Amino acid sequence: MDLGLGGKNVLITGGSKGIGLACARAFAAEGARVAIASRSAANIAAAGLPGVLGIAADLSDPAAAAALIERVERELGPLDVLVNSAGAARRAPPDELTAELWRAAMAAKYFTYIHAIDPAVKRMAARGAGVIVNVIGNGGKVASPSHLAGGAANAALMLATAGLATAYAGRGVRVVGVNPGLTETDRVAEGMLADATLAGVTPEEARARAVARIPLGRMARAEEVADVVVFLASPRASYVTGVNISMDGGSVPVVV
């Protein structure tokens, strides 16, 4: 299926690892011009993406995020698609949470997305076209004791996604969220360590318990999430906006 993304200009934050990297590869395979951002220049180099523009930027800084959008548009052209996949909050058991950790979770997850979205969505709206896809995480829908602060940041992003979609729909911009459940990434592996500590079991036992709760019987692959992101960013999904789509293998069978 031709998704109509050939020649489109795409920026993926957090594009050097995990789901972001899988998205970068998928967009490039569709013929898009791709830029990725990461805090680490070394991670960008290790991603091994020939022909992809890599930019080191700390998106917790709004000025750095604005400079990133400016540079991408200067070097690639007007931004057609922004995919946010950067940032993750540190997991902690409830008794170890502090006001500082709650604030740090918002800085790490919520504001790294908002800082990139704010300049991008306004430029897209001025041109009358654009798509923003936020890779958020199902922790925004389902509370986990070891992921309360990060889950709250995810929930805030879900509301921002729906609200921005409504605000900018009349100006040609779509905003969509994707909420992966457990996915085979380094980030999820780190989360398993926190879950194991809270449950008093080994990481291997924590992983086995988690997988046992997934009706499909396995975690997602990053490439599977990327496939959905690329579709949502494409003209084939031109009437999809303002929704947060769960990809959790059937773990939370709810009607939304």
| Cβ-based neighbour number of residue 75 at 10 Å | 12
pTM higher than 0.85: yes
* CATH code for the domain of 113: 3.40.50.720
User: For residue 153, is it within any domain?
Assistant: yes
- Type of residue found at 38: S
User: For residue 130, is it within any domain?
Assistant: yes
User: For residue 201, is it within any domain?
Assistant: no
Total domains in the chain come to 1
User: For residue 127, is it within any domain?
Assistant: yes
Instruction: State which residues form the domain around 47.
Output: 9-184+221-247
User: For residue 208, is it within any domain?
Assistant: no
* Whether the Cβ atoms of residue 33 and residue 10 lie closer than 8 Å to each other: yes
* Whether the Cβ atoms of residue 30 and residue 198 lie closer than 8 Å to each other: no
- Type of residue found at 214: I
Helices and strands, number each (H, E), in the chain: 9, 7
Report the distance separating Cα 102 and Cα 153, nearest Å: 9
Per-residue pLDDT in tens (0 to 9) along the chain, 256 residues = 789 999 999 999 999 999 999 999 999 999 999 999 999 999 999 999 999 999 999 999 999 999 999 999 999 999 999 999 987 777 777 788 899 998 999 999 999 999 999 999 999 999 999 999 999 988 778 877 777 888 899 999 999 999 999 999 999 999 999 999 888 877 777 777 767 777 788 888 888 888 888 999 999 999 999 999 999 999 999 999 999 999 989 888 776 6
User: For residue 216, is it within any domain?
Assistant: no
User: For residue 202, is it within any domain?
Assistant: no
Report the distance separating Cα 158 and Cα 141, nearest Å: 9
User: For residue 213, is it within any domain?
Assistant: no
Distance of CA 148 to the CA centre of its chain: 18
- DSSP secondary structure letters along 214-246: -TTSSPBPHHHHHHHHHHHHSGGGTT--S-EEE
